[in-house]
Structure 1
Amino acid sequence: MGHLDHAALGWLTPVLSYAMACTGAALGLRCTVRALAATGSVRRNWLLTAASAIGTGIWTMHFVAMLGFAVSGTDIRYDVPLTLASLLVAMAVVCAGVFAVGHGRDRVRALLLGGLTTGLGVASMHYLGMAAVRLHGEVSYDPVLVGLSVLIAVVAATAALWAALNIRSPVAVTLASLITGAAVSSMHYTGMSAVSVRVTPSGEPLPGATAMQFIFPLAVGLGSYLFITSAFVALSPTAGEREASASAQRPAGHTAH
């Protein structure tokens, strides 16, 4: 059996990946709050931004965490098309979940449906990402732990969407995103603990790209996207702030109290 190391770069990858998951979650919650206050195309755009933020955050979290994944006795490469497919899955599914919640008539059903969809999406993104791993040997999974990781993903997603619908204050959004980040990270490491690798040493070159060639630049790009979008969202006024500034600009004598 190959010895698996999930933090080959020390504390860096778990901490960084957790930060990514939290940033994505916070941004997604903030955008969903904006979306629910808006209507029509504005609402749609906020929901799309929310979905892309959460999807990007989760995917970046997964692959930043994967930068710390090493197996003794073999190099690791990543299949590029599969890795990109996992990113698209993350985006598409989170999008479906967020829209189910943003447009659902029946709150509870929308929430359960959205949570289930998003959770299964997060899990399938994780395992697609894992399927993109190329190494000398064979990878096997403990079905119980895989099931547990899928369950954590669904519960985490449902909780995150619930938070998106019910939480308004910045402190609560921060708390909710820290919890969501923790849930997504624990799902990731639960899924990773389900993995065992039987290494068959070989001198053959592995197909695919190394993490540094491909995963790292992609994660940096997506991370930058998250931070730029966060800044943009933080600086754009909410509907309430817009009304407040509009009423502040009216002549003082005409303000109705």
Structure 2
Amino acid sequence: MQGTVDGFSYGLVTPVAAYLMACLGGALGLRCTTRSLLVTRTWRPGWLALGTGAIGSGIWTMHFIAMMGFSVTGTPVRYDVPTTFASLGVAIVMVGIGIFVVGYRGATGSALFTGGTVTGLGIASMHYLGMAGMRLNGSLEYSIPLVTASVLIAVAAATASLWAAVQVRGFRWSVGAALLMGVGVSGMHYVGMAAASVHLHPVADTAGDPAGRLIAPLMIGPLLFLLLAGVVVVLDPRMVSGAVAPGPPPPPGYRVPVRDSYRLPPAEDRRTVPCPRPERPARASRDHRTARPPARPAARRRTGPHAGQRR
């Protein structure tokens, strides 16, 4: 017996809320990735780790909120807590691999391909591992073409977002990249849900906890981490506008050391102002060069009793 799968039990409330959480996590994570490219190698792992946690928490929170609207006629839907938490760990680890590859190798073709593929596979693995954590009176079956399509959507969205993180500057472009990532993650989720079908079994007790009981304890950790990442990004003056933070002017003759060059904006962000050439002195005219210097005024003739004596 086939059960009817409904992914929109609460209408558009859960899809919209899930999409916003994916955008929030993507925006914070991508901005942290961008910031990591402007610092020295000492600080880069910290920014990349913060971005990894933000993206992983955002997409996992998006998945769990979207699953709140998932229901199957004829059976209750419950969740296994260890498997659900394992999906969060998989998301953070695989997203972290992709972000660290791009963070250290830059926007090269091989780095974007590797990082985007690993990140996209991490998003898809999180989704299907979370689906495996569901407990219901039936078995899940998947359509292979739709599963393949969902994985390709996740990989494409992850690659485009990572490219934007290392190439795009400015707040508006970062928001656009986050919206794109939210579309990719949400699209992957609902295409994957469309690939699922449930074959009901005879009525039996379903193990696990209902989603309503788990939503508070499961989401408090990722939400607090997103809040922490948001505070760090907001307090960093370069995260919003990408400009150098204002500070006191350097002393005269000060030259920025090489170890502090990360404080300067990247080459594509600097406003190049053409330096005017110093004007050469006008060449003297021929008449001026040949003119004789003015003669000295004649010495005054001394008069008096000592006029002919030398001093």
TM-score in terms of structure 1 length = 0.92
Change (3 A) 1:29 1:109: same
CA shift digits 1:26-82 (9 cap, x unpaired)? 001110111000112311100000111111111111111001101111101111111
The CA RMSD over aligned residues, in Å, is 2.1
Corresponding residue number in structure 1 for 2:247: 245
CA contact (8 A) 1:32 1:165 kept: yes
SS at match of 2:246: helix
CA contact (8 A) 1:64 1:216 kept: no
1:40 maps to a residue whose letter is: R
Change (3 A) 1:173 1:106: closer
1:4 and 2:13 correspond: no
**Alpha-carbon distance, 1:106 to partner:** 7.2
Corresponding residue number in structure 1 for 2:210: 210
- Percentage of matched positions with identical amino acids: 48
1:163 and 2:164 correspond: yes
CA contact (8 A) 1:64 1:219 kept: no
**Alpha-carbon distance, 1:246 to partner:** 3.6
Unmatched segments (≥5 aa) in structure 1: none
1:19 maps to a residue whose letter is: L
**Alpha-carbon distance, 1:9 to partner:** 1.6
Corresponding residue number in structure 2 for 1:21: 22
Q: Distance in 2 between matches of 1:128 and 1:243?
A: 43
Q: Which residues of 2 match residues 12-161 of structure 1 at below 5 A? A: 12-104=13-105, 107-161=108-162
SS at match of 1:245: coil
CA contact (8 A) 1:73 1:201 kept: no
SS at match of 1:207: coil
**Alpha-carbon distance, 1:167 to partner:** 1.0
SS at match of 2:232: helix
SS at match of 2:97: helix
**Alpha-carbon distance, 1:255 to partner:** 9.5
Look at both structures and tell me which one has the larger radius of gyration over its CA atoms: 2
CA contact (8 A) 1:77 1:134 kept: yes
Q: Distance in 1 between matches of 2:20 and 2:224?
A: 13
Choose 215-224 or 27-36, whichever is displaced more: 215-224
- Which protein has greater RCO, CA pairs closer than 8 Å, 6+ apart? 1
Higher percent of residues as helix: 1
Q: Distance in 1 between matches of 2:106 and 2:238?
A: 24
Unmatched segments (≥5 aa) in structure 2: 256-274, 276-311
CA contact (8 A) 2:23 2:179 kept: yes
1:171 maps to a residue whose letter is: R
CA contact (8 A) 2:107 2:163 kept: no
Change (3 A) 1:107 1:119: same
Choose 39-48 or 216-225, whichever is displaced more: 216-225
1:188 and 2:202 correspond: no
